[in-house]
Chain A
């Protein structure tokens, strides 16, 4: 019994999700939205890995997804803490306001 879903379609789906997340990170000005874009990218990677794991019938892909999720969680925690810290320091979450790297 077959699924009739070609593997390439899953990869396209994952790619689409990934570039949506990348666009979000690149285009938005709010720091929170930038972080959300990163989350979307990580999730897309997870989709691709699970599909690969199914295609090659090996569980390594799924194991990697667990680690990705863990790392994403850790990264979100620290990232949001940083955002809170920045908000307290500068009063704004606008990415354009952070210009210290100029020059």
Chain B
């Protein structure tokens, strides 16, 4: 167990834990905050897995923009935590948990049956290399995706307008 591995498992635990908490909170605001924590953890994981640029982007876009957007909407719509008896709440969770556990078991079986397993090498892609690669090989997709953003912008504007 070296530093790298230790950091990885710690971060993994934090991410999983905060995601689990986020998913189970009744109060939406709490859930969002826990989720921000989860994204931070993911960002650090990205850094560890050799994608520093993506780590930055994760913080900026996911934690920074998307979660903030969620916060705005929640506050705008004044969402109160739902008043639901605990029994009903748990009954909703049962099928999801069962199915999730089942799928996870299948996944783990597949992963550990596949045989030769490599340790991850230590490497990192500098933003320069990554940028060059992206615009060299996937320039077309970048163009399309920027167009997609435009479309989403228009869509969001239209859907969210106040109908007088």
Contact = CB atoms under 8 A, between A and B. Distances in A.
A and B are partners in one complex rather than unrelated chains = yes
A23 B79 CA distance: 21
Contacts of B129: 59
Contact of A1 (B58, B95, B117, B122): B122
Contacts of B125: 53, 59, 62
Given A22-B100, A74-B152, A93-B79, A62 B5 contact: no
A54 B82 contact: no
Q: Kindly state the interface size class of chain B when it binds its partner.
A: 35 or more
B155 to A, nearest CB: 5
A13 B114 CA distance: 17
A81 to B, nearest CB: 4
Interface in B13-37: 15-16, 19-20, 22-23, 28, 31-32, 35
A36 B70 contact: yes
Contacts of B141: 63, 67
A4 B23 contact: no
A13 B120 contact: no
A21 to B, nearest CB: 7
Contacts of A40: 19, 22-23, 35, 38
